[in-house]
Amino acid sequence: MAAHGVTPAALRRPRRRPRTFPLFMIAPAMLLLALFIAYPIAESVHISLGSWDGIGSVAYRGLANYRRLAHDALVRQSVVTSLAFFLGTVVFTVTIGCLLANAISREVPGARIFKVVWFLPVIIPVSVAGIFWSNAFQPTTGVANSVLGSVGLGDGHAWLASSSTAPYATIFVAVWTQTGYAMLILLGAMDTISPEVHEAATLDGVGAAGRLFRITLPNILPMLGTITTLMSVFSFNAFGVIYAMTRGGPGNSTSILPVLVYKQSFLDQDYGYGSATAVVTTLIVGAIGILVLQVFRQRSLDAR
């Protein structure tokens, strides 16, 4: 019938609305991602391929900045410093965070108070924490040295003045600021483990350490992987703590890659070179993130 006007071919045409509607729905998100993530990243890569002093157009120089990077001893030193800082921070943050979460999860006396106290450093702005600890580490007048002095270990240690001790001091502060966060996330994961499992293990004579390694850790492995990845990213981007405490010194002994990028870009006005360093930093962080996730994914599979 002509009134219906529907041909058999038209009846066979696939319904397309379900495909266009999702596209329409994700378009705003894609637009925002493109604007605020993809475009800045692409622009950084673009700038890294040229010379730019912050204004006007980028003068294309090909891979010159990357060739310069490869021969720059300061960049190599910053990569090593960043890796050492990353290792120290992540290992201690996750380990201590895990132990603290376990203690609270096992409801040690005062667990609720400890949960708040141990989380407090997370809410302190990193610049404030950096300045506080920078003062605390000063010889004779600093709180840390006063405490050491009171127990007979001397109060004259110049922790931040030596390139052999300053990196440890900055790692300590980074761990101090991040451990509460790791603890809280891991505590959430531990709380999902059924108490009966622990009770049964206790009845079987398994001690606290045994329960931690044989029950708790295997059950929170995916979250452990997530928090380790997050801490890896945080530690690689720990510009605030370092800049507030040492500004990358003495010398360049605490100059992790973001500090170097800041100096190259904003102090030297060499945005092309700074962007090249930033791109390399991003690749390193990305590689480490993928590596950590892979390690934990494999462990999770093994645990099953």
Partner 1 sequence: MRITRTPRATRYTAVAGVLLAAAALLPACGTGPGASSGDGKSLRVQIPTGPMASAMQQVGKDFEKANPGTKVTFEGVDSNSSRGPNVALLSSTATPDIGYLQRSTGVWSALLKNHQLTQIDDVWTAAGLASKYSKSQTAYYTTDGHHYGVLYEELLIAPVYYNKAAFAKAGIPDPADHQIASVADFEAMVGRLKTAGYQGFGVGGSSPYDLGHTLDALLPTAVTPEQYAAMLTNFKPGSPTDVKYTDPGFVKVLQTIQDWQRKGIYQKGMLGMDTTQAQALFTSGKLAMLQGGNYSYADLKAAKPSFDMGWFLLPSLTPGRKTPFNAFNGDTLVIPAKAANPALAKKFLQFFMTDKYQVSVVAGGGSLPVFTSIRPSSLSNLGDLVQQQFELSQSVGLVNIWDSTVPSTLGQAFAVPVLQKLAAGKLSPQQAAQQFQTALESLQSGKVSGASD
Give me the least distance between CB of 223 and partner 1, in Å please.
37
SS3 state at 238: coil
Q: Which is nearer to partner 1, 20 or 192 (CB)?
A: 20
C-alpha 101/C-alpha 107 separation (Å) is: 10
Q: For residue 38, what is the DSSP state? A: I
Q: What angle do CA 248, 280, 79 make, to 5 degrees?
A: 40
C-alpha 257/C-alpha 76 separation (Å) is: 10
Give me the least distance between CB of 159 and partner 1, in Å please.
7
Q: Which is nearer to partner 1, 211 or 263 (CB)?
A: 263
Give me the least distance between CB of 240 and partner 1, in Å please.
13
SS3 state at 195: helix
Cα 189 to its chain centre, rounded Å, is: 19
Give me the least distance between CB of 57 and partner 1, in Å please.
9
Residues that bind partner 1 (CB under 8 A): 14, 16, 19-20, 23-24, 27, 30-31, 34-35, 39, 51, 53-56, 134-135, 137-141, 156, 158-163, 166, 246-252, 255, 263, 265-270, 272
- CA distances for 51 relative to 103, 237, 272, 283, angstroms: 54, 24, 5, 21
C-alpha 61/C-alpha 272 separation (Å) is: 9
Give me the least distance between CB of 61 and partner 1, in Å please.
10
Q: How many helices (H) and strands (E) does the chain have?
A: 16, 2
Q: Which is nearer to partner 1, 154 or 286 (CB)?
A: 154
Q: Which is nearer to partner 1, 115 or 263 (CB)?
A: 263
Q: Which is nearer to partner 1, 216 or 255 (CB)?
A: 255
Give me the least distance between CB of 135 and partner 1, in Å please.
7
Q: Which is nearer to partner 1, 23 or 209 (CB)?
A: 23
Give me the least distance between CB of 171 and partner 1, in Å please.
15
Residues 6+ apart with CB under 8 A from 264: 270, 273, 274, 277
Give me the least distance between CB of 225 and partner 1, in Å please.
35
C-alpha 130/C-alpha 248 separation (Å) is: 12
Q: Which is nearer to partner 1, 30 or 200 (CB)?
A: 30
Residues 6+ apart with CB under 8 A from 70: none
Q: Which is nearer to partner 1, 120 or 267 (CB)?
A: 267
Per the DSSP assignment, residues forming a β-bridge with 59 are 51
